[in-house]
Structure 1
Amino acid sequence: MHAMDIRIYYEDVDFGGVVYYANYLRFFERGRTEALRALGVDQTALKDAGLVFVVRRFETDYLRPARFDDLIRIETRVLRVAGASVEMAQRALREGVELALARARIACMTFDGRPARLPADLRAALAALAG
């Protein structure tokens, strides 16, 4: 599992001081990106090789609000690695209390929109984050 902390800024909240729901998508995206970075995955090198990641499916359950100046933790883990995709589970927590849960299916694609097998080294790296 990978974890990263994010501070909630004024720009993240709505008029009521609660994190605007769509901002969790950004937080979870950052969590997935940093999880890959921590595994040594170079997304620029993947792009140079003609491969990109695209979100195929994303589900979120909002449980409790985060507010301005909260420090939240985004946890990311791999659920399943398939030939051309990976499924990840994520949680947003404040002091150990779940605020939001997410599940993402990420596909590996070529620039012309065709599915592409995950390179073997990438599959191995992702498997290390499984659990």
Structure 2
Amino acid sequence: MTHTFSVHVYYEDTDLAGIVYYANYLKFIERARTEWVRDMGVDQVALKQDEGVVFAVRRVEADYLSPAKFDDELTVETRVDAMTGARIVLTQDVKRAEEILFSAVVTIVAITQTGHPARLPAIIRRNLH
């Protein structure tokens, strides 16, 4: 299952050379993960309120392959690589047309509001199996 999310590069996303500032790719993939979870029917505010569970990024391994530029239309593709009881490993690619510009392997963990490990919510486990 691949989830797609569109991103338009604004001037504020770029550096003086008109190239997307490296940290903004992390914002792009974060937005894509938020929409991916929302598209699964998960209300993260309710999840926090009702079950006391939130998601945190545990690890990011990123490769910057080619620059995106001002006014580019990008797509973030999110795929699940692995899942355990408390974590999900994703690959997220940022593309311009079919060219991969940025690729990351992201490990997301479920935690309590106090930062302790938590089991992935049932709705997430059901949607990913």
Q: For residues 65 and 89 of structure 1, what CA distance do their matches in structure 2 show?
A: 19
- CA shift, 1:55, in A, is 0.4
Q: For residues 121 and 28 of structure 1, what CA distance do their matches in structure 2 show?
A: 22
Q: For residues 77 and 40 of structure 1, what CA distance do their matches in structure 2 show?
A: 17
Q: For residues 44 and 8 of structure 1, what CA distance do their matches in structure 2 show?
A: 28
1:77-92 matches, cutoff 5 A: 77-92=79-94
Q: 1:80-106 CA deviation, whole Å, 9 max, x = no partner?
A: 110111111100000110100011000
Long gaps (5+) in structure 1? none
Q: For residues 52 and 106 of structure 2, what CA distance do their matches in structure 1 show?
A: 22
Aligned residues between the structures: 127
Which residue identity is paired with 1:91? D
Report the RMSD for the aligned CA atoms in angstroms.
0.8
TM-score normalised per structure 2? 0.95
Match of 1:62 among 40, 61, 64: 64
Runs of 4+ in 1 over 6 A off after TM superposition: none
Match of 2:75 among 44, 67, 73: 73
Q: For residues 122 and 13 of structure 2, what CA distance do their matches in structure 1 show?
A: 38
Partner of 1:121: 123
| Other structure's SS at 2:18 match | coil
Which residue identity is paired with 1:69? D
Q: For residues 33 and 45 of structure 1, what CA distance do their matches in structure 2 show?
A: 14
| Other structure's SS at 1:26 match | helix
Q: 1:33-55 CA deviation, whole Å, 9 max, x = no partner?
A: 11111111111111112111000
Long gaps (5+) in structure 2? none
Q: For residues 89 and 37 of structure 1, what CA distance do their matches in structure 2 show?
A: 18
| Other structure's SS at 1:79 match | strand
